[in-house]
Every structure is written in C-alpha cells, then in structure tokens.
C-alpha cells in the first residue's frame, strides 16, 4: 500500500511539473511574441490605420479617441497590449546596448522611454482626469464648478481681422490662428493659449475651439421671444452650423457668405467683412424649408421674423484636473533631450565607420 501511494504521489508530482513547464512555456511564447519587432510594427500600423480612418470619417479625432480610451474596454485592452509590447521592446533593446557603456545607453534610450511615458500618460489621462467644458463669450464672468471662484473672460484674441480674404479651396488661414484668452483671476490678468495649456490653481485649461456668435432677435406676433448672441461654429468660412430656440419648432442654419468674390486668373478669393457680415440662412420646420437665401437683415417666416446685428467672440475650453501631468512633462523633456542625443550617437557611429 505504501508503495502504491508513493507511486501515485510521484505521478501527481510529475503531472504538476509538466503542467508548470507547460504554463512557463506558454508565458515564454507570449512574451516572445509581444517583444518581437514584427508584432510591434504590426500594432503600430494598426493604430495608424485606426487614426486615418477616424480622421477621414470622424470629427475631433483626438478628443474622440481620448473619450473612447476612457470608456471602451476593447480599445483600452488593445492600447495596453501596445504599451506592453513597446515596454518589452525597450527592455530588449536595453539588454543589447548595456555593454556599450552607461552614457551610450542613456543617450540611446532617452527618446523611446520618453515616448513610452507620454503614451502611458495618455492612458492615465483618459481614465483619471476630471474635466469641465466651458462655453463663454468675450466679457462674460463665469464661475466654473471645478474652480469655485469667478473667472472673467476679459478678451479673446484670435488674430482674425474684421476683413479677410479666403482663397478658394484653402481654409488653411485659420489653422494657424490659435486662440488666446485673457482671463482675470483674483484681479490679475492671465494669458492662456492653445498650447501649452494654461495653469490656474492646480487646474489646466485647454483651448478647444473658438468662433463668432451673431446677435439675433426673433419676434413672433410683435413679441420678442429670443434675443442675444448665439454661439455657432462658422469658421473657417464655408462651415455651416445650426441653432434652435426652446419652445420654437424651427431650426436655423447659418453659414458665412462672402461679401465679394475676387477672380484673378485661375485663383478665386472670397472676401469677408465681419463688421458687416453676410449669412447664408436656411430655416426649417421639420422637413419643410421655410426660408433659404442670403441676408444681413430681417427675415420673415410664418408669423415670425429673424434679425441679425453684429457678433461677439466666444471660446470653448476645458478645465482639467490632471494628476498624471508630471508624467507627461517628464516624458516630454526626455523626448526633447533624446532627439539631439540620438543625432549625436548617429554622427559618432558615422565617424567610427570612416
């Protein structure tokens, strides 16, 4: 009986050893796959493809990606796999370079480690940051819930002049016009740009986009039912946006219309004058179009009238509490330092070769 028991114990032990070896072998294969150059390139290509598709068919690609990365389990899993693969590639490269000296190793790995930290920051940022979106007009006093003290949007600077020319097929004049706002905080002026983000009492302020808000007046049966600026996205020129008024069954579409079209040879330019703007306006009620045309004054439809007079600037921004920001700044500094370090190493290798 004792011999039989001993043999059973040996069989069980042997099975357990084989099981452990099998698990160890599977883990080793998985690590080998994740750390392979081919798998990392494949993953990188997948993310590039995802970005191209999103940029082609979506809007606000980066913002949408961050939202998805904080809520979509599949996207989070794929991103984690990408980070693990990137980390294993760094470790594998480190093992191959460590014998060349500490200085050489540090210079060579500042850039990839910096990029890795920035990528880790993106994941943490998407899942832990608290944000409050604010829409404010120039001159408005706001009290964000995340700050609990008033901010005055003293001025919105966009570098867009009252009169400007837009060349046909090129709205690019607006791509370089990043908004800047001047806030008044505790009686002091603080200038906040699009990048890098502003910082006020432990919170970061990110500029998202800006626009003009035409001042409208809607009258029904001789009674004023709506009045004031309406924040719509009409820039760059050619962009159409709409607004609705509570308790009214209408939808109002607006688009900037050029005050003048200038043709010189094959080049066509559209001249706009924001001090006396023209709008292409469409008013609908359900599927029915009540008005469609160009106007800068009063429009009558059914028993209502719409008038537009002047505009004010508006800004849309985030107030963000971001605990992972030190990680981003560290990664960014490493990237900035790593690029010239890589150039120095490359030049050194060329000199040794010749």
Specify the DSSP class assigned to residue 247: T
| Tokens standing for residue 147 | 């700050």
The per-residue pLDDT for 282 is: 93
What are 280's strand-pairing partners? 255, 294
Integer-rounded Cα Rg, in Å, for the chain is: 30
Burial class (CB in 10 A: 0-12, 13-18, 19+), 247: exposed
Bridge-based pairing of strands 203-220 and 304-321 is antiparallel
Q: What is the pLDDT along the chain (354 residues), one digit of tens a residue?
A: 555 555 555 555 555 555 556 667 787 888 888 888 888 888 888 888 887 776 666 555 566 677 777 778 888 898 999 999 999 888 888 776 767 777 777 777 888 899 999 999 988 888 877 778 888 888 888 888 878 788 888 888 876 777 877 776 544 444 445 678 888 888 888 888 766 677 787 788 877 778 889 999 999 888 898 998 898 988 878 889 999 998 899 999 999 988 888 887 777 788 888 888 889 999 999 999 999 998 877 889 888 999 988 888 888 888 888 788 889 889 999 999 888 887 877 776 666 665
What 3-state DSSP class applies to 162?
coil
The per-residue pLDDT for 271 is: 85
Nearest Cα neighbor of 235 from 269, 194, 272 is: 272
| Tokens standing for residue 95 | 């093992």
Q: Which residue, chain included where needed, has tokens 């079209």?
A: 261
- Residue 188: which residues within 8 A CB-CB, separation 6 or more? none
What 3-state DSSP class applies to 240?
strand
Q: 333 — phi, psi (to 5°)?
A: -65, -40
The per-residue pLDDT for 283 is: 94
The per-residue pLDDT for 80 is: 92
Nearest Cα neighbor of 328 from 117, 111, 131 is: 117
Rounded Cα–Cα distance for residues 278 and 260 (Å): 10
* Residue 261 φ/ψ region, left for φ over 0, alpha for ψ in the -120 to 50 degree band, beta for the rest: beta
What 3-state DSSP class applies to 92?
helix
What 3-state DSSP class applies to 264?
strand
Adjacency order of strands within the sheet including 251-257: 240-244, 251-257, 278-285, 288-295
The per-residue pLDDT for 250 is: 93
């Amino acid at each position: 009986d004792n011999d039989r028991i001993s043999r059973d114990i040996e069989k069980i032990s042997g099975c357990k050893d084989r099981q452990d070896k099998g698990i160890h072998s599977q883990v080793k294969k998985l690590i080998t796959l994740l750390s392979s150059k081919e798998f990392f390139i494949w993953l990188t290509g997948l993310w590039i493809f995802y970005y191209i598709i999103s940029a082609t068919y979506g809007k606000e690609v980066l913002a949408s990606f961050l939202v998805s990365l904080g809520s979509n389990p599949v996207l989070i899993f794929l991103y984690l796999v990408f980070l693990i693969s990137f980390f294993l590639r760094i470790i594998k490269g480190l093992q191959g370079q460590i014998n060349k000296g500490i200085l050489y190793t540090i210079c060579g790995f500042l850039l990839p480690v910096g990029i890795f930290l920035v990528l880790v920051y993106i994941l943490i940022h998407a899942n832990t940051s608290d944000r409050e979106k604010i829409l404010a007009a120039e001159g408005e006093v706001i009290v964000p819930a995340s700050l609990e003290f008033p901010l005055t949007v003293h001025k919105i600077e966009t570098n867009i002049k009252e009169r400007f020319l837009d060349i046909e097929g090129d709205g690019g004049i607006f791509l370089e016009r990043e908004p800047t706002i001047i806030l008044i905080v505790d009686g002091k002026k603080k200038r906040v740009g699009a990048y890098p983000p502003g910082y006020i009492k432990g919170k970061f302020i990110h500029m998202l986009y800006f626009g003009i808000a035409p001042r409208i007046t809607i009258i029904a049966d001789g009674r004023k039912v709506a009045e004031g600026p309406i924040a719509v996205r009409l820039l760059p020129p050619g962009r159409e946006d709409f607004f609705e008024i509570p308790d009214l069954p209408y939808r109002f579409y607006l688009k900037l219309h050029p005050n003048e079209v200038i043709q010189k040879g094959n080049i066509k330019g559209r001249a706009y004058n924001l001090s006396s703007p023209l709008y292409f306006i469409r008013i609908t009620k359900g599927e029915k179009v009540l008005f469609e045309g160009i106007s800068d004054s009063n429009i009558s439809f059914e028993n209502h009238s719409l008038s537009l007079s002047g505009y004010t600037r508006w800004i849309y921004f985030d107030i963000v509490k971001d605990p992972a920001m030190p990680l981003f700044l560290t990664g960014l500094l490493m990237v900035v330092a790593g690029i010239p370090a890589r150039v120095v190493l490359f030049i050194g290798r060329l000199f040794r070769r010749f």
